Each structure stands twice: as structure tokens, then as C-alpha cells.
Structure 1
Amino acid sequence: MRKLLVTLVLILTGTAAYLWFEPEDNPDALQTDQELLPDYVAENITRTLYNEEGYRADSVTAVRLEHFELLGFTQFEQPVYTLFNEAFQPSWKASSKYAIWFPQDKIILEQQVVIESLLQNELVERIETDTLEMLFPDNRLQNNQPVYIQGKGFYIEGIGLQADLTEKTLQLVQHQKTVYRNED
């Protein structure tokens, strides 16, 4: 009986000592976990931005949106951005599997990025790449990844892109190949 009592007292003392010295939950770890959870989630969203005169400047639709306030960005799934020209007509459509929108009006499009001209008679009709930065309100595009550009009667392959959709300028950082339709 005495051995049982001594064993029981030792177990209780050991448990009490363990609980006494057990580290408390780390508040920094809890904060990190909170940062990784979105503040809100929306599905099948549409957002339209208007200029000072009340005309549409751009429009965004997405299957899913997750906003992270503490991290300072919004993540989209299957976004489609429509940009409007100075005549207030839809001029360019940008789509990808994922996108991240930062408060400085910078959007990073990721995976299967496609930029398409919505206007007739544009020299460049389509741009394809894996990752692309869009800078607003300047409507500039940039990346350092492989790029495929398709136009009327040609296509171009290169690496890296600097483009201004408003000024209609496009520059490849490294040109690899240009093929005209009559050269296929």
C-alpha cells in the first residue's frame, strides 16, 4: 500500500511540475496563423472602376477572391481584367489562373496568362506568358519570363516584356524568334 501511495504521489508531483513549467501558447505563432487566414472571401465577384468623369476605366471578374488585410494583398482565382481605352471602349482583356492585387495598384498575374486585344485592326492581338505584372493606372505590363506574342500575320517568341497598353508600345528584353505566316 505504501509503495502505491509513493508511486501515486510521484506521478502527481511530476504531472504538477510538468504543467507548472509547460510553455504557454506563443502569441507570435497565433498572430502568424491569423495572417494566413483571409479576412473575407467572396465568390463570383465583379468590380468596376470608374474615372473622374464617371466612365469605366477597368473591370475585374473572378471566380473567387480572398482578402488578407494584415499581409496587404488580395488574391483572385481565375480573374479576368478588362481595360478601357480613351474612347471608353473595352480595349484589352487579361486573364490567368491566379492573381495577386497589391494596394499600390500592382497586379501579378500567374499561370496561363493571356492578354488579348478587343479592338479590330490592332497589330498585336494576343500575348501569352506564365507570369506578368500589370501596373495601374498607367496600364503597363512587365515580366522577365518567356513570352509569346501573336499578331496579324506573325508571331514572336522572346524572354522579358515591357509594354504600355495606353501608348501601344511593346519591347522584348530578349528576342528569340519571329515567324511570319508565309514562313510557317
Structure 2
Amino acid sequence: MNRVTIGITAFFGLALALYWQTQVKRSEMDAIQVVGVERPDFIADDLKTTEFNAQGFIESKVTAKHMEHYASSDITHFTEPVYLIYPENGKAQWQLSADRGQLNKQTNQVSLENNVIIDAIDIEEPLQSLTTQAVALDLSTMIGSSQDMVYIKGKGFMIQGLGLHADLNSQKLSLLSQVEGTYESQ
């Protein structure tokens, strides 16, 4: 064999070896799958939605800067959500806002986190504002709870305590421990 034939054979042999090596590495990479990473089924920016109950009355209104819904778990994640809650009597009474939120449709529970603020819609309401870092709200029963510090502002008073149990239908609220309050005479 002459030099040219040996050179061409060596060149094609090297090319074949490099091609085989890249295919082996690609197969290994395809075999490695990222476990636990789920992609959202749909995404919305500047979301505005209204949900109605079986009788046709508004149940809740939600706005959010960003939303991602995962159909496999029926969970929706929100960025900067604002909920208007309509208890049994059908009038909006509470506005809930936070930096992040999550709605689990299977349990009908909303979880709000970071800078959670619950404001009364009616300015005549004795309790005007409640602030905490996390709240879980069952939309079926309208019962909310928190294990974090809660700060309440109302007409002529401020109260803080650790933990919260609130029934938005009956408008009853309980702080669970370490309760301190400041009252102003009117």
C-alpha cells in the first residue's frame, strides 16, 4: 500500500472513531433523565379570573402577575396573587394578597406566602388589616390558619400574636398565643 491509501484509511478510521465516541456520549446523556422536573401545562401573565359557584354567584376573583398550572397534580402557582373572597352571603368582604401563592384544586386550599396581607373591603369593618408571612385558606369552609406572627390593625387598636385561626364566613378570628394589644380611646 502506498502512503496516500494509508493516510486516507487512517483519516476515515479516525473520523469513524470520533463519530462513534460522540454517539456513545449522546446515548449516555439521553439515558440520564431529570427526575422530578415537571413542566407547567399552561402559563399566564397578568391573569384575571372570576370563579362562580353552582348557583351562579361569584365565589372568588383572582389576579396575578404570573401563573403556572400543573394538570397532573391540579396545582396552580401564582406570583403576586390578589384574591377577592366572597363568603356565603355573596358580597366581597376580604382581599388577600401575597408575593407567592398556590391553589390546590383537589383540596380546594389556597396557600399564600411572603408579605401576606388580608384587607377588609368595607371601611366600616372593625378589623381593617391583617399581616403575616404565611396563610392557608380552605375555600370550601372559608377557614384560614397560620403558624406565623400575625399583626392586626383595626379601628382604634393593634394586636399581634403567634398563630391564627379565622372563619371568614362567621367573621371570627382567634390568635393562638403570645397575644399583645394596644388600644386607643376614642
Whether these two folds match at TM > 0.5 is yes
Q: Does the Cα contact within 8 Å between 2:87 and 2:142 map onto a contact in 1?
A: no
Task: Report matched runs for 1:1-184 at 5 Å.
Answer: 15=18, 18-19=21-22, 22=25, 23-24=27-28, 25-26=30-31, 28-29=33-34, 32-33=36-37, 35-36=38-39, 38-103=40-105, 104-182=107-185
Segments of 5+ residues of structure 1 without an aligned counterpart are: none
Number of aligned residue pairs: give it. 179
Q: How big is each residue's C-alpha offset from its partner over 1:133-159, in whole Å with a ceiling of 9 and x where there is no partner?
A: 111121111111111011221111111
Q: How big is each residue's C-alpha offset from its partner over 1:151-180, in whole Å with a ceiling of 9 and x where there is no partner?
A: 221111111111110021111121331111
Percent of counterpart pairs with the same letter?
A: 26
Distance in structure 2 (CA, Å) of the matches to 1:108 and 1:127: 15
Q: Rg bigger for which structure?
A: 2
Q: Secondary structure at the match of 1:90?
A: coil
Structure-1-length-normalised TM-score = 0.81
Shift of 1:74: 1.0
Write the letter of the residue equivalent to 2:141: D
Q: How big is each residue's C-alpha offset from its partner over 1:34-93, in whole Å with a ceiling of 9 and x where there is no partner?
A: x14x22211222221222221112111112211123454111122111112443221111
Q: Secondary structure at the match of 2:169?
A: coil
Segments of 5+ residues of structure 2 without an aligned counterpart are: none
Regions of 4+ moved over 3 Å: 7-23
